[in-house]
Amino acid sequence: MINEIINLLLGSLFLSTLLGYDKFLLSLLISFLTWIVIFPGKYNFLLLILEILKNIPKVIIEAVAILFLKNEKISMEKYKDDFEMLRKIIVITLTPKTIVFEHDEDYIYIHKIDKG
């Protein structure tokens, strides 16, 4: 129950920045309708936001390091369910040295820039 309330409030907060705080009830309604559409309990957005915030220092370091790296490679990572795939794609795409460019039933394919 607490997870649903947090998801609704976070959705309302993000929409309020777009629509303005005077339309908070409209933001709450849109957030509630979105929550119904994406199947309650399927995605834990608070966990996803915490994962992104945890990786921000890594993103900054990699953005500076990318200037000195030359070697490119393609690798693949296995995932178990749709939420894990979503989490991995967002975190991988957030970092400057990696990007997900393809996925299939079991794996996501990643383009990386590493030390040469």
Q: What is the reported pLDDT for 23?
A: 73
Q: What's the CA gap between 63 and 5, in Å, rounded? A: 35
Question: Could you report the per-residue pLDDT of 45-96, keeping only the tens digit for each?
Answer: 677 778 888 888 888 888 888 777 778 888 888 888 888 888 888 888 887 7
- Whole-angstrom Cα Rg for the chain: 17
Is residue 100 a contact partner of residue 109, using CB atoms and an 8 Å limit? yes
Q: What is the reported pLDDT for 15?
A: 66
In this prediction, residues 8-36 reach a mean pLDDT of 69
Counts of helices then strands in the chain (DSSP H, E): 5, 3
Q: What's the CA gap between 72 and 62, in Å, rounded? A: 14
101 pLDDT exceeds 70?
yes
Q: What's the CA gap between 79 and 16, in Å, rounded? A: 33
Question: Could you report the per-residue pLDDT of 26-39, keeping only the tens digit for each?
Answer: 777 777 777 666 65
DSSP β-bridge partners for residue 112: 73, 98
Q: Which residue do the tokens 């990699």 mark?
A: 62
Q: What is the reported pLDDT for 21?
A: 65
Beta strands in 18-86 (DSSP E): 71-78
Three-state secondary structure call for residue 101: strand
Q: What is the reported pLDDT for 14?
A: 66
